[in-house]
Structure 1
Amino acid sequence: MNTEQRSTPTLDTLSMPQQTDLPDGVIPFYGTAKAPERRPSRTKLGYDILMLLLLLVDLALILTDTILTSGIAHSLAQWLNLSAVLVNYQQNYHDSIATIGGFFTLFWLGELLVRWGLAIYARTYYRWFFFPFVHWYEVLGVIPALRILRLLRVVVIVRRLHRLGIQIVPQRWIQSAQFYYHVLLEELSDRVILTAIDNFRTQLHQPTGKHGQLLQQTIAANRSQIETAILELLRRELTPRLQAALLAEQGERLSASVGAAVEQALDDTPELRKYLKLIPIAGGMIESQIHSVGRSIGKQVTTAINQHLFADETLDGLMRAIAHGISQIDTTHPQVQTLVAEVVELSLSAFEEQIKIQQWKHRQQLP
């Protein structure tokens, strides 16, 4: 039977589901009659560039005013003997910068409301109130205390311009930022994982820890799977070796040994020899035949027993009983808990050593 090859799709192969693809009762964000995506006009590009410049000016004023009115700037000005310059700014320019910031806030609020109205008119979104949820960073950025969120709109505009082929930020800077972002993310995640491993290891070595209860619950919930795995292992590893032992010289040796033992038992029976001596002439020949028959019976009985014991049905039943017995192991036994604790400890140590490897150092060596 031909089986179709299946592969995991990538992000490039996935597309935005349309209204007809969505289940009933699901409200999409965008309208059903949305125009196909195409390169924006020069007006939109110019608007994005203008908004980017205004945002940079606004953020520069916010950053400058925040720094120059902070306690750090005051301490640094005293250390550099520039206190007069700082006081002059705070007395003569701070209020003007704050006023300009207020005008910027009103401008962003009005610009946001205009774009919201245009989105409602063009039916860009499926519901009129979806706009503030999609542009949440702009809505929050209008609040004076959260003006720093306007930086997110700068990122969105720069990303949109980069998609259109307009390089605002050098590619080398972007790659460096992505690299250090992954370094920071990896280091933070490694610290979290290592801390969790240390906490689990500490609980594992506590006599009153819950690892014993966790072990019992885990085994109790998976006894059937454990039994199936052990049975498959026994069938694959133990059954062929036992049957090979019968087919090899061990089976013949056992049969010969049992036959010789039966013959020796007949030979060590004085009553049989006494009665055979009463038969003249034929007594010795009968004794020899009895010994031969006894040896043959011993061999045949041993061979029959071996064939029965090592038959597929018998061995399979034996393996089932062994697997069932192992799966019903008492997890409260101290030796079992000690063994499991050692196995878990070795696994945690190996996992910890793998986590400690700083993958970003290896990626840094790649071209």
Structure 2
Amino acid sequence: MLRINRENLKSSHQLIWFIVDFLMLGLLIINLAFIIWDSIYNFVAVQDLLKQYAPGLQSLYHPIHDRFIFYDMIFVSIFLSEFFLRWGYAVKAKVYDRWYFYPFIHWYDLVGCIPVGSLRFLRILRVISIIYRLHQYKIIDVTNTKLYRFVNFYYEAFMEELSDRIVLKVLSGVQQEVKRGSPLFDKIQQDILYPRRDMLTDWISSRVAEAAQEGYVPNRGALRSYLEDRVDSALKQNLELSRLKFLPVVGPTIQETLEEAVGDIVANVIHQILEDLASASNHAFIEDIVNVFLPSPDQVESDETENEALINLIVEIIDAVKAQVRVKYWREDLP
């Protein structure tokens, strides 16, 4: 049920224009009903049917049908008067940057006033514009109506079906390009990534240093204790090392010394690696890694096996995406 929010209507600074909107909305509905009825009456079969079963109605309406243009022009004159009134207000209030913008923006109001054939039905656009304006200013709420929910449901279903077909068509085209050995990947590597190799190296280096500083430096002591415990546990499980304790006199001492030394060495190595990663000295290391993944074009050697595996991987990924796109979510809302 469409309800009018009277509080917003009263508090609005455009109360007069909203009243005009409601009047125009009523006249448009009456006019459209009149046009539809006259279009139906225009059929000879309908006239004969009325002559047979409702001669009074037929004799009453037939003179109106003969002068339909005259009666329609009465509505047109009212609509044009309201149009020029709003145009004048828009010019006075400087709603638009230029005075002549209004008729171009509200072209459907003018075209709908042309009393020729099917152009009359464009007046429905004016009905929609008025309802939209009232809804925008929260005078009415069309989203609570059954008609809106019905139309919106099938509109969303239509758009989902349409977009799914377009996406599937595009993805199928991408698959065909990949299967044909499209040079896209080589272009991305050689023309986009490789010329920006230094920039990528600097960015990755700074990100690694930042991550190491924030993650490792504050937890340095805890990480060292954890590594020493893990190394100590691993050494105690080592069969060869455990045999040292059977050596007379010095066996346990040697075993304990080795455990401490290995644990300290591992902790220091990990500590030094993370210290280097957290500093600017990681740049050369990161650069070597980037050079491995992004070699210069003259160093690239084509490997058909790897390329075929990559193509199959991409095709399978696109197949998975297509399978997900085929899911019809609008059907879940069906009663």
Structure 1 residue 191 corresponds to structure 2 residue 165: yes
Q: How does 1:106-255 map to 2 (within 5 A)?
A: 107=77, 108-109=79-80, 111-121=82-92, 125=96, 127-142=98-113, 147-159=120-132, 164-165=139-140, 171-214=145-188, 219-220=193-194, 223-224=200-201, 243=227, 247-251=231-235
Structure 1 residue 313 corresponds to structure 2 residue 272: yes
1:37 partner SS: coil
Classify 1:206/1:215 alpha carbon distance in 2 versus 1 (closer, same or farther; 3 Å).
Answer: farther
Q: From 325, 330, 334, give the equivalent of 1:360.
A: 330
Classify 1:353/1:292 alpha carbon distance in 2 versus 1 (closer, same or farther; 3 Å).
Answer: closer
What is residue 59 of structure 2 aligned with on the other side?
A: none
Classify 1:63/1:212 alpha carbon distance in 2 versus 1 (closer, same or farther; 3 Å).
Answer: farther
Q: From 281, 290, 293, give the equivalent of 1:327.
A: 290
Give, in whole Å, the separation in 2 of the partners of 1:230 and 1:338.
33
1:207 partner SS: coil
- Give, as a single letter, the amino acid of the residue that structure 2 aligns with 1:349: D
C-alpha contact (below 8 Å) 2:228/2:263 kept by paired residues = no
Gaps of 5+ in 2: 1-10, 49-61
2:130 partner SS: helix
How many aligned residue pairs are there?
280
Give, in whole Å, the separation in 2 of the partners of 1:59 and 1:326.
76
Gaps of 5+ in 1: 1-34, 69-76, 86-91, 261-287
Q: TM-score, normalised by structure 2?
A: 0.57
- The structure having more radius of gyration, on CA atoms, is 1
Give, in whole Å, the separation in 2 of the partners of 1:50 and 1:150.
12
Classify 1:359/1:59 alpha carbon distance in 2 versus 1 (closer, same or farther; 3 Å).
Answer: farther
Aligned-pair CA distance for 1:194: 1.2
Q: TM-score, normalised by structure 1?
A: 0.53
- Alignment identity in percent? 19
Higher relative contact order structure (alpha carbons within 8 Å, sequence separation ≥ 6):
2
What is residue 350 of structure 1 aligned with on the other side?
A: 320
C-alpha contact (below 8 Å) 2:157/2:330 kept by paired residues = yes
Aligned-pair CA distance for 1:182: 0.9
The CA deviation string for residues 161-198 of structure 1, in whole angstroms up to 9 with x for no partner, is 6754599x992222111111111111111111111111
Task: Select the structure that is richer in helix.
Answer: 2
Give, in whole Å, the separation in 2 of the partners of 1:137 and 1:203.
45
Give, in whole Å, the separation in 1 of the partners of 2:18 and 2:264.
95
Structure 1 residue 47 corresponds to structure 2 residue 20: no
